[in-house]
Structure 1
Amino acid sequence: MLITFLVVAVVSAALIAGALWGIYGKLSSQTEGFVIALAGGALIVSLVSEMIEPAIAQSNLWVGLGAVAAGAAVFSGVDYWIDEKWGADGGGGLLAAITLDGVPENLALGVALIGAAPIEVAALAGSILLSNLPEAAGGAKQMVGNGLSKGKTLGLWALTALLLSAAAIIGYFALEGVSPHVLAATRCFAAGAVVASLATEVFPKAYKEDHHMAGVATAIGVILAVFLGELATA
């Protein structure tokens, strides 16, 4: 249990560290795009190997695939609503979009930790941490640029970190002991939402910021995730 809280705390603290980086440090668009693409590549592998495949083995193919499709559809619908109501470039819309992205990621992390040794979810946790850093840095930098004070910006990101920590803890405790089919469907639903976020938020932003190296960074992310996965099964 202590390890679970430690993993969740480190992953969520990356949001605060990223916000501090964006507010007080220097962040080039190329660096941001490279790290985001790297994290996206790692997430592709870890979602399939740590979430979807184990869920299908635990339940059945149709429950898993149906839940993945449902998660992607729900994420895309809510993401569209946020863009239309708040605007993708506004401070509130940006924070809401990142929260929407982070909730399924952290829910997936919490669910993945059920009955698993920490090394078995190292790729998933590491890729979420890597994605949180540049997303928070870029978001905080934009919010300050739009006129929000540094203190309020940091406070909003701290609240976001608490919300995403809660999502991971809920995923771990609320779903522990449920039927294998419910757990499998939940894992795949969260995975589907993250897949949709990769397609609509992560990779487009990575390409926009660093289009020359985005493909290389994505491949590096895939390599790192596969390597960590092999370490877990060794």
Structure 2
Amino acid sequence: MTTSMPATTAKRLTARGAKTRAKIVAAAADLMYVQGVGRTTLDEVVAASGVSKSQLYHHFAGKDMLVRAVIELTGERVMQRERDALGRVSTMAGLKRWRDALVQNNALRHGAYGCALGSLASDVADHDDVARLALASLFGQWEALLVSALQRLKDNGTLPDDASAEQLATGLMGAVQGGYLLAQTAHDVAPMGTSITMALDHIENLSRKA
């Protein structure tokens, strides 16, 4: 279930209008991921998207509205990736493959820029409650996918009955987000791999008690 932010999508759009809006949001998402929200100007978004400033303002009253649309798009991208990666995981080997894919994907940028959702959260969560709540919902959806995967490990006897899938998922999410941050500052994904591996090692140790 995705979080709706009506302020960014209230207008009924023609096919052409929807295409223009999508170009603006995609360009803004790419710029904000690399440069950060604060350092990305609307003039840069206009130039990168190839639209006019009047077209941008037709779709977005201001930067806050555009940022909220970027969060929506980024959330869709991240959640689709995580649904594909975690949707059928039911073994420790599956969780390790998920870890490897996350780390390898981040290695393509040498750890730069961090998690797409985490970067947005650090930029806007303290200044825009609508954006903060949307991001909180997206992180909740991501964590719910981990809960479901861990619950499948409980259901098939890999994890003991008294293991809390919810608590383990929260710890694993913390390791992922902390790992992204460490990799970003080091421009090296090794700390990210270590962070997630330690969380998975804890889960694997619990599986030996099952």
Question: Which category describes the TM-score, using the shorter chain as reference length?
Answer: 0.3 to 0.5
**Higher Rg of the two aligned structures:** 2
- Relative to the length of structure 2, the TM-score reads 0.33
- Higher share in helix: 1
Work out which structure has the larger RCO, using CA pairs closer than 8 Å and 6 or more positions apart in sequence: 1
